[in-house]
Structure 1
Amino acid sequence: MRRILVRSLVTLAVLGLAAALGAAAAPATATPRAPYVRGTSTVPFYSYAGAVRESVWVSTPLDNDEDGVPDKVAVDVVRPRTGGVRVPVIMQASPYYTCCGRGPEKQVKEYDANGTITGQPLFYDNYFVPRGYAVIAVDMAGTGRSTGCTDTDGREDTLATKAVIDWLNGRAKATYADGSPADATAWTNGRVGMVGRGADGTVTNGVAATGVEGLKTVVPISATSSGYDYARHNGVVVSPDSNEYLFHMVNSRPAEACARVLRSLDVGSDDATGDYNAYWAERDVRPHASKVRASVFLVHGLNDGNVMTDHFALWWQELKVPRKLWLTQAGHVDPFDYRRAEWVDTLHRWFDFYLQGLRNGIDREPPVSRETSPGTWVDGPAWPAPGAREVRVPLGDGDGTTGTLGARSGRGGRVWTDDPDLSEDAATADPNRPVAGRAVFLSRPLARDMRLSGNPSVTLRVKVDRPTTELTARLVDYGTAARVNTVYPAEGLRTLDTRSCWGASTQADSACYLDSAQDVVTSDRGILTRGWQDAAHRVSLRFRVPLRPDRWYTIKVPMQATDQIVRAGHVLGLVLQQSDLEYTTPATTGATVRLDLSGSSLSLPVVGNARLPRPGAEAPRVEASDRIGRQDARLRSRPTP
């Protein structure tokens, strides 16, 4: 009898644990008899024109403008008049609502004479408010109508935004403009989903990493997951004073109110060394992935030259919650502007599942959707692709000018001196021609398609005649094909003259937006991925170890995550150089690098059994001169909304 009782207790405990684990991944329970639900979908039911529009100021736990009172963030609310039905919230926090606008049409917040919100940027309120959601737009600390000071992805940005979710759940206080208390619990059930692109997505990641109760799902689009990796590439400075630049772009406070915070941004970022320090650790969410309780829907551009692909990849791999991923061939853009109908439908079902508790099956669909070529999307079960394996590719001597990629390491070497003015166009063009400041290695034409999914890298055995130098690697697909033209600032899109409407409109807030299409060109090569490494940071990103000119060193140059297909007949190329004026701010030491081929190799994340053909005695002849030029390359190193 005792054995049966013990077995029953164990069974109940196991069932209880399973239920608890299931609850973490399950959607919220639907509101009983919600009038805006039909089957497993929310539908337009409430009047958008008749929605409640109000502004409140939420008290935060911080006072970083040091005026003796808690900082307050301004929150503009658009919510349906539900007659007592409490609804979930879609929330976008941004520093850009006043200075720069959101979306391709640069929409800013619009207010009436009384200071009440009349127009929120983007389509979220137009579309979701009639469907039983409140949509709120938060001016991040120190921007718009908020107090405090922005600290560029730091503690203030995160905790001040988190305070809004606390208010929605009755754990923080807020007031209207006249000082009277504002209580959200009368109209919301406290379930929150955050969404945003760029800096808006970055704060979304940051708030999710606090594990705040009530945040049920997040949708970060082209968002960073490490401030260091945005401003540095393995010790190489991307743009000096980048955080101060962003501060000045978005700040709405008097200069004297935030002088101390501005100084801390300058000192803490430590541009002089490029080291990872406590300042950057505060802006790194990856170590806190285990705290995330919300489901995550990541969206990123495989050719995003602003927020590099490691930001999504390293975050994605750390998350232990329900996940979904879209990867596009475009750059730093919103899916509303390249896959509009599919995006609105998918986002609608995602929010319905995790915020309304409607079991519409989105959790059983393939979690990964990637664009393999312009306009062609393929779904998959995981990322990186199942079956991806690391393949080591030796570097061969070739003809002594252009090397080979293939089965046997070369016995020779390469010697080149840094050319800080060597552009990406020049470095990757005419790979069979000697060009000062670069070294090129080519495969033979591929016999069949090869998919790369993950992080390539190159290991270099080098001798350097300076205490350090920057090392840059580019993986290039040589072959004529239609490609998305991601030249800055269009990022792969062209705006059309037509408009389409997504939701309800008022005279002050239209739901109709200019249509867009991918900008597709035919080019003779495409950059698959890039990588950078400061040689003195080869041991650790936290400190520098200078090189000695009489010694050989083995230095790994990691490349950004990618998922691309190199087509049959194309040639895979590896281009090495030192300074990169395209994606970093060169700090040339004038170094000369001596490369030992026998100790150097390329590592590729190859899916399946595809392999590079055995190289011949010489590299193949490749014509690659017709390349679309970029605008001023240094514009890429400036943070953009």
Structure 2
Amino acid sequence: MIRKFSFFLLALACIQAVGQSSETAKAKPVFENGEAQLVEAFSDYENWIRHDLWVETEFDTDGDGQPDRMHVAVTRPGQTDSEGLKLPVIYVSSPYFAGVAGNVEGLFWDVKHEVGEQPPKPRVHPEVVRRGERPIISNSHIETWVPRGYIVVHSSSPGTGLSQGAPTVGGDNESLAPKAVIQWLTGKDNGYTSPDGGEKVSAYWSTGKVGMTGTSYNGTIPLAAATTGVEGLEAIIPIAPNTSYYHYYRSNGLIRHPGGYLGEDIDVLYDFIHSGDTAKRAYNNKIVRDTEMANGMDRITGDYNEFWAGRDYLNDMEPMKTALLMSHGFNDWNVMPEHSYRIYEAARAKGLPVQIFYHQNGHGGPPPLSLRNRWFTRYLHGIENGVEDDPKSWIVREADKRDNPTPYPDYPHPDAEDVKLYPMKGGNQMGDLSLVQNRMIALEKVVDDVSISGDSLAKSSNSDHRLLYQTPVLTKDLHLSGVAEIKVKMASSKPACNLSVWLVSLPWNPDNKAAITENIITRGWADLQNHESLESSEPLEPGKFYEMSFELQPDDQIIAAGQRIALMVFSSDKDFTIWPKPGTELTLDLSGTYLSLPVVGGNDALKAATR
């Protein structure tokens, strides 16, 4: 065990220790059990050095003819100057550090209109007032990592705070900006003491090993940087990252809003974060928001197009070579759990070092500190702690605390198998979910009414506004792990309609607050107009049946004995979709409809649990 000294005691010891070399007196990182430990010499915040600078990028997005420069702040132990110590860097970037727009009336799109129609009125465009004083951009992560032998670096993303350029919400500059900062941290001569001057500054205190982390948008930027393949970015820990803005604002062709932000779209987020230079905002608004976004985001059809493809990081994975630890909540209905899973799956297929941490709560929530510490210790300090041989999947079980996840060989669980369940007639009351398909045509009808919430529909014993099909009561716990999929054969009375699907456990918990996490297993939404392609839709012929398959959100949940698993099909989901007038009729043909459920132990486990 290495003894820890305060700076006063350390100085005294150096004077009194006759014959002791200056090398042994120097502070350095300490590792135990494969993790970086707190070092007292690095914990004295009064000895931390804090300064800011600007890093020049390779792009010009604010139209002034000069490469945009990013505002960067550094916090490092004093020993990086006094003792010439070099340390690895943990880097966090965000569009939020300088403040955001308030939730002003009219900020969001009006959702009260028919599906497939233009929103009835324009939005309000607020102006963000920048906050913050130099040289500090943010204090996040500093107290965790600086005392453990890291330097922490923050930067404001393009067009926010004192960073130049324009916010693009997933455009190329939001990948190239952190790339430029990482290049500076690994020795490139592109750092300046001011936003416009020529005086250079170097990162002489950096080992050239960089890790990134952050939550939500701040978790998206590490992935954006990693997709550039930039040298020196060794490890990232994205927490609840938005990995595709299409998947954030659309779902299988449907206009679908993130939970809690009804009417938000990508241009709303642009306005929300645009805290950069007020003199450049008019140009940025014209080029980005009022041209590129207005022409590309398409709030009428919801189709996947070139605009959205350019903001989907799954399409940019080829250059990535960074070790990846993902983190997400299974009940995150803001940035939904598919965002992390789709990237984890692709990185694993590339052979990259990967782990995934899932918990049962909502938005945010990092992995336990020990997992993060081991990850950064291995890839930034180069300590051979065997993290690459640890379990690939960490799942917080339902009753456990977040810092006590259960390890599994992978996610989904390797023993999970898809089991098909078929709905039987009676869905307006309570139909059965059966392992045996009914091949006879059986039609069931649901009438749309957005005024009724999804949880109210699930709790109703009888409703014309939803179809509900349930398994027998479980006699044993049943473990679900992976991605459920539904296939529907359906007709609509109108050329366009919302289609919403919930998978729930019944009976419903009477405590509404707990029910959102305890009773909703997973959800999904789709536009039946996109039954053939995500890229193109066509108006529905009223009364004509169409077949469509789509996935629900990933999940890993143990459904307790005494519960039933139930499939609910309805139209408008008032917390997520457009609000058309009530009355659209959807007709489901049960003979062409099924649910594919990922069950650990497969068909045998489901049969054993429903005897």
* TM-score bin, normalised by smaller chain: 0.7 to 0.9
Q: Quick check: 2:427–2:469 contact (8 Å CA) kept in 1?
A: no
Aligned partners of 1:478 and 1:525 also within 8 Å = no
Report if the CA contact (8 A) 1:443-1:613 is conserved.
no
Unaligned stretches of 5+ residues in structure 1: 1-32, 102-107, 488-520, 617-641
Contact 1:472 1:557 in 2 (8 A): no
Change (3 A) 1:257 1:522: closer
1:326 to 357, 362, 372: 357
Which of 216-225 and 168-177 deviates more? 168-177
Asked if residue 611 in structure 1 is aligned to residue 606 in structure 2, the reply is: yes
Asked if residue 35 in structure 1 is aligned to residue 28 in structure 2, the reply is: yes
Residue 131 of structure 1: CA displacement?
Answer: 2.6
Per the TM alignment, residue 182 of structure 1 is displaced from its structure 2 partner at its CA by: 3.8
- Say which SS state the counterpart of residue 598 (structure 1) adopts: helix
Q: Is residue 95 from structure 1 mapped to residue 89 from structure 2 by the alignment?
A: no
Question: What are the residue-to-residue correspondences of 1:264-279 with 2, within 5 Å?
Answer: 264-279=292-307
Partner residue, 2:252 = 234
Q: Offset at 1:257? A: 3.5
CA distance in 1, matches of 2:335, 2:135: 34
* Distance in 2 (alpha carbons) for counterparts of 1:201 and 1:594: 41
Q: Distance in 2 between matches of 1:148 and 1:589?
A: 45
- In structure 1, the residue corresponding to 2:591 is in which secondary structure? strand
How far apart, CA to CA, are the structure 2 residues paired with 1:524 and 1:265? 34
**Structure 1 pair 481–463 and aligned structure 2 pair: CA distance change class (3 A):** closer
CA deviations 1:76-113 (Å, max 9, x no partner) are: 10012322222111000001112159xxxxxx9854xx
Relative distance call for 1:464 and 1:523 in structure 2 (3 A) is closer
Aligned residue in 2 for 1:552: 545
**Correspondence 1:418 to 2:448:** yes
Residue in structure 2 matched with residue 3 of structure 1 by the alignment = none
Q: How far apart in 2 are the matches of 1:427 and 1:473?
A: 12
Matched, 1:467 2:486: no
Aligned: 1:363 with 2:388: yes
The CA deviation at 1:528 is: 0.3
Which residue, 247, 265, 278 being the options, matches 2:270? 247
Higher strand share: 1
Moved more, 299-308 or 450-459: 450-459
Tell me how far apart the structure 2 counterparts of residues 540 and 401 of structure 1 sit (CA, whole Å). 33
Residue-pair matches, total? 530
User: How far apart are residue 550 of structure 1 and its match?
Assistant: 4.7
- Alpha-carbon separation, structure 2, partners of 1:80 and 1:367: 33
Contact 1:443 1:571 in 2 (8 A): yes
Q: Is the 8 A contact 1:64 1:261 kept in 2?
A: no
- C-alpha offsets along residues 128-161 of structure 1, whole Å, 9 cap, x if unaligned? 2233211011100111111111011211212122
Q: Residue 62 of structure 1 corresponds to which residue in structure 2?
A: 59
Give how far 1:575 is off: 0.6
Secondary structure, counterpart of 2:325 in structure 1: strand
Listed one character per residue, the Cα deviations across residues 394-421 of structure 1 (whole Å, up to 9, x for unaligned) are 1111487321001333443211222222
TM-score normalised over the length of structure 2: 0.82
Structure 1 residue 439: deviation in Å? Answer: 0.6
Q: What residue number does 2:107 align with?
A: none
CA distance in 1 between counterparts of 2:448 and 2:433 reads 23
C-alpha contact (below 8 Å) 2:254/2:301 kept by paired residues: no
Q: Distance in 1 between matches of 2:580 and 2:610?
A: 36
Secondary structure, aligned partner of 1:213: coil
Deviation at 1:325, TM superposition (A): 1.2
Q: Does 1:160 align with 2:187?
A: no
Counterpart residue type for residue 261 of structure 1: V
Q: Is the 8 A contact 1:353 1:359 kept in 2?
A: yes
Q: What CA deviation, in whole Å up to 9, does each residue of 1:589-630 have, x standing for no partner?
A: 9532221112211110111131157999xxxxxxxxxxxxxx
Alignment partner, residue 543 of structure 1 = 536
Aligned residue for 1:461, secondary structure, equals strand
Which amino acid counterpart does residue 96 of structure 1 have in structure 2?
A: Y
Aligned counterpart, 2:369: 344
Deviations 1:201-224 (A, max 9, x none): 111111111111110001100111
RMSD: 2.6
3-state DSSP of counterpart to 1:196: strand
Q: Secondary structure at the match of 2:592?
A: strand
Give the counterpart letter for 1:534 in structure 2: D
> 1:621-640 maps to which residues of 2 (within 5 A)?
none
The residue correspondences of 1:144-223 to structure 2 (distance < 5 A) are: 144-171=161-188, 173-177=190-194, 179=197, 181-223=199-241
Counterpart secondary structure, 1:372: coil
Corresponding position of 1:256: 282
Structure 2 CA distance for partners of 1:400 and 1:296, relative to 1, 3 Å: closer
Q: CA deviation at 1:361?
A: 3.1
CA distance in 1, matches of 2:225, 2:406: 31
Q: Distance in 1 between matches of 2:580 and 2:510?
A: 35
Say which is worse superposed, 91-100 or 168-177, in terms of deviation.
Answer: 168-177
Q: Is the 8 A contact 1:90 1:192 kept in 2?
A: yes
Give a deviation string over 1:348-386, Cα, whole Å, max 9, x none: 222111100112233332221111213253111100001
Alignment correspondent of 1:73: 70
Code of the residue aligned with 1:262 in structure 2: it is R
Matches of 2:516 and 2:534, distance apart in 1: 37
The one-letter code sitting in structure 2 at the alignment partner of 1:134 is I
More off after superposition, 416-425 vs 181-190: 181-190
Q: Which residue of 2 aligns with 1:284?
A: 312
> Displacement, 1:269?
1.1
| Deviations, residues 32-86 of structure 1 (Å, cap 9, x unaligned) | x982234554331334321221101111111111012111110010012322222
Equivalent position of 1:503 in the other structure:
none
Counterpart CA distance in 2 for 1:588 and 1:563 is 36
Q: 2:50 is matched with which residue? A: 53
**Distance change in 2, residues 1:573/1:181 (3 Å):** same
**SS of match in other structure, 1:245:** helix
Work out whether residues 459 and 508 of structure 2, in 8 Å CA contact, stay in contact via their aligned partners in 1.
no
Q: Which residue number corresponds to residue 295 of structure 1? A: 323
Distance of aligned partners of 1:140 and 1:462 in 2 relative to their CA distance in 1, 3 Å threshold = same
* Shift in alpha-carbon separation, 1:615–1:216, aligned structure 2, 3 A: closer
Deviations 1:225-277 (A, max 9, x none): 11100010111112456222111211123231312222122222111221111
Aligned equivalents of 1:573, 1:562: Cα separation in 2: 15
Q: State the distance in 2 between where 1:100 and 1:250 align.
A: 5
Q: Does 1:139 align with 2:156?
A: yes
Partners of 1:452 and 1:154 lie apart in 2 by 36
1:52 to 1:413, Cα distance in 2 relative to 1, 3 A: same
SS at match of 1:348: helix
Check whether the contact 1:579–1:588 (CA below 8 A) recurs between aligned residues. no
Alignment partner of 1:116 out of 107, 110, 135:
135
- CA gap 1:479/1:288 in 2 versus in 1, 3 angstroms: same
Is the CA contact (8 Å cut-off) linking 2:427 and 2:468 kept in structure 1? no
CA distance in 1, matches of 2:531, 2:372: 42
Q: Which residue identity is paired with 1:215?
A: L
* Residues 328-362 of structure 1, C-alpha deviations (whole Å, 9 max, x = no match): 11100223xxx7xxx22322222111100112233
For 2:406 and 2:131, locate their aligned partners in 1 and report how far apart those are by CA, in whole Å.
37
